[in-house]
Copies of this chain bind each other. A is one copy, B any other.
Amino acid sequence: MGSQVGEQTIAFDNPPTIIGHGNIVGPKEGDGLLKEYFDKILEDTLWGEESWEKAESKILNAAINSAIDNANIAKNDIRYIFAGDLLNQLTASTFAIRDFKKPFFGLYGACSTMGESLILASMAVEGGFANYCVAATSSHFCGAEKQFRYPLEFGNQRPLTATYTVTGSGAVVVGNTGIGPKVTHVTPGKIVDLGVKDAMNMGAAMAPAAADTIIAHFKDTGRSAVDYDLIATGDLGMIGKKLTIELVGKAGYDLSDNYTDCGIEIFDNEKQDTHAGGSGCGCSAVTLTGYILKEMAKGTFNRILFIPTGALLSPSSSFQGESIPGIAHAVVIENSQE
């Protein structure tokens, strides 16, 4: 059973274990700052498929298979799959997961989906509803640009506040037995909307949600930044990170020492022309399953707070004058003390 802690947080009495993880990224990500951490780097963004959408499905499918292999269990041991992506009607996930023939929970949390899927998979395992679940997500730069912004062929100039959608997928297997770091606490996030309307500045739109969830997590648990070796938001980029430090600081918590953002870690922004940083569901997913979990295995970090962040807009909602609500879900991952 989980213990309810404060207004939003769950502390797991029998923390589920991340027994396997896998990821795949595109060529640009494979040329970035985390290139040594990725399991597979593609040579091109289509990977032999006819469309970016189909390529994204293939990438997500492969990342899930890679996580199951890494967990050293049989595909058939998986009971439920929790996944989502940015494409309309989650078609990247649908066509990726069709072949697994396992019950599927489709999730949409924009770029916070790795947090949402990890939370629900952990709840399913800790509640006794499943022994092994997959949590996964993906994004694709070309598909996301086409759907949310401009066709690539148009060659639009991107403002410096814009982030660059990561092409890639990350997946984990969460189990009730096995070896690996544990999911000890989760803090599902609220929708927070301070009225930002600039879809080319997602960092600013999402920062209030990131700050809200971090502050809620600290209040619920009585912890602060010093209790973590690393605090990593999802894909706020340079501008969103600065705002998050400021907003969390106003609540009396200092993030200046051990806080980073996956969107800053992944690209070499100056050399790679990625402006404010990386974004997309895949950004936090490949940074978690690449960099963070691999450094945890080495003991560089023993207790981390992972907070994927999402901007809950659609092109229609922006056309209709709506602001951009944000959401962020927090997950605590700890190396076992045994």
Residues in chain A within 8 A of chain B (CB atoms): 1-4, 7-8, 10, 50-51, 53-54, 79-80, 84, 86-91, 94-95, 97-98, 101-110, 116, 119-120, 123-124, 126-131, 187-191, 193, 312-317, 320, 322, 325, 327
- Copies of this protein, total: 2
- Kindly provide the distance from the CB of A176 to the nearest chain B CB, expressed in whole angstroms: 11
**Dominant secondary structure at the A interface:** mixed
- Chain B residues with CB under 8 Å of A129's CB are 2, 4, 10, 123, 127
- Chain B residues with CB under 8 Å of A80's CB are 188
- Chain B residues with CB under 8 Å of A2's CB are 127-129
Q: If A104-B327, A105-B188 touch, does A91 touch B316 (CB 8 Å cutoff)?
A: yes
Complex CA distance for A90 and B107, rounded to whole angstroms: 10
Contact assessment for A91 and B317 in the assembled complex, using a CB-CB cutoff below 8 Å: yes
Q: Please give me the 5 A-B residue pairs with the lowest Cβ-Cβ distance, nearest first.
A: A127-B127, A103-B188, A89-B314, A1-B128, A94-B312
Q: If A88-B315, A129-B10 touch, does A193 touch B123 (CB 8 Å cutoff)?
A: no
Contact assessment for B130 and A97 in the assembled complex, using a CB-CB cutoff below 8 Å: no
- Chain B residues with CB under 8 Å of A314's CB are 87-89, 91
- Chain B residues with CB under 8 Å of A327's CB are 104, 106
Q: Could you write out 9 A-B pairs with CB less than 8 Å apart?
A: A3-B128, A4-B129, A89-B108, A94-B191, A94-B325, A97-B191, A104-B189, A105-B188, A126-B127
Q: If A79-B4, A127-B127, A316-B91 touch, does A190 touch B322 (CB 8 Å cutoff)?
A: no
